Chain A
Amino acid sequence: MLLNIKNLTVAIEGKEIIKGLNLQVNKGEVHAIMGPNGTGKSTLAAAITGREGYEVTEGEIWYKDQNIIEMDADERANLGIFLSFQYPVEIPGVSMTNFMRTAINAQREYRGLPPMPAGEFLKLMEEKKKLVDIHSKLTNRSVNEGFSGGEKKKNEIFQMALLEPTLAILDETDSGLDIDALRTVAKGVNELRSEENAFVVITHYQRLLEYIVPDFVHVMYDGKIVKSGSKNLALELEDKGYEWLKEQSLV
Chain B
Amino acid sequence: MSDQTNNILDEVTKGEYKFGFYTDIENDLAPRGLTEDTIRFISAKKEEPEWMLEFRLKAFRHWQTLEEPEWAHLHHPPIDFQGIIYFAAPKKKPQLSSLDEVDPELLETFDKLGISLDEQKRLAGVAVDAVIDSVSVKTTFQDTLAKHGIIFCSFSEAVKNHPELVKKYMGTVVPYTDNYYAALNSAVFSDGSFCYIPKGVRSPLELSTYFRINAANTGQFERTLIVAEAGGYVSYMEGCTAPMRDENQLHAAIVEIITMDNAEVKYSTVQNWYPGDKQGKGGVYNFVTKRGLCKGNRSKISWTQVETGSSITWKYPSCVLMGDNSIGEFYSVAVTNNFQQADTGTKMIHLGKNTRSTIISKGISAGKSNNSYRGLVKIMPGAINSRNFSQCDSLLLGDKCGAHTFPYIDTRNQSSIVEHEATTSKISEDQLFYCNQRGIDTEKAIGLIVNGYAKEVLNKLPMEFAVEAQKLLSITLEGSVG
Contacts and interface: CB of A to CB of B under 8 A. Distances in A.
B448 A72 contact: no
B440 A93 contact: no
B221 to A, nearest CB: 37
Interface centre among B433, B438, B439, B448 (most CB of A within 10 A): B439
Contacts of A49: 437
Given A52-B4, A53-B2, A102-B444, A73 B449 contact: no
Contacts of B4: 52-53
Contacts of A83: 437
11 contacts: A74-B435, A77-B436, A88-B434, A89-B430, A89-B434, A91-B435, A91-B452, A94-B455, A103-B439, A106-B438, A107-B439
Contacts of A77: 436-439
B451 A72 contact: no
A98 interface: yes
A65 to B, nearest CB: 20
Contacts of A98: 448
A74 B451 contact: no
Contacts of B456: 93
B454 A93 contact: yes
Contacts of A163: 438-439
B431 interface: yes
Nearest to A145: B452
Interface residues of B, number: 26
B391 interface: no
B452 A142 contact: yes
A50 B436 CA distance: 9
Given A89-B428, A91-B431, A91-B449, A103 B438 contact: yes
Interface string A188-202: 000000000000000
A88 B453 CA distance: 18
A53 B436 CA distance: 14
A92 interface: yes
Interface in B403-458: 428-431, 433-442, 444, 448-449, 451-456
Interface centre among A83, A91, A103, A142 (most CB of B within 10 A): A91
Contact of B2 (A52, A88, A93): A52
Nearest to B441: A74
B435 to A, nearest CB: 8
Given A52-B4, A88-B434, A89-B434, A106 B440 contact: yes
Interface centre among A53, A77, A83, A94 (most CB of B within 10 A): A94
A78 interface: yes
Contacts of A89: 428, 430-431, 434
B5 interface: yes
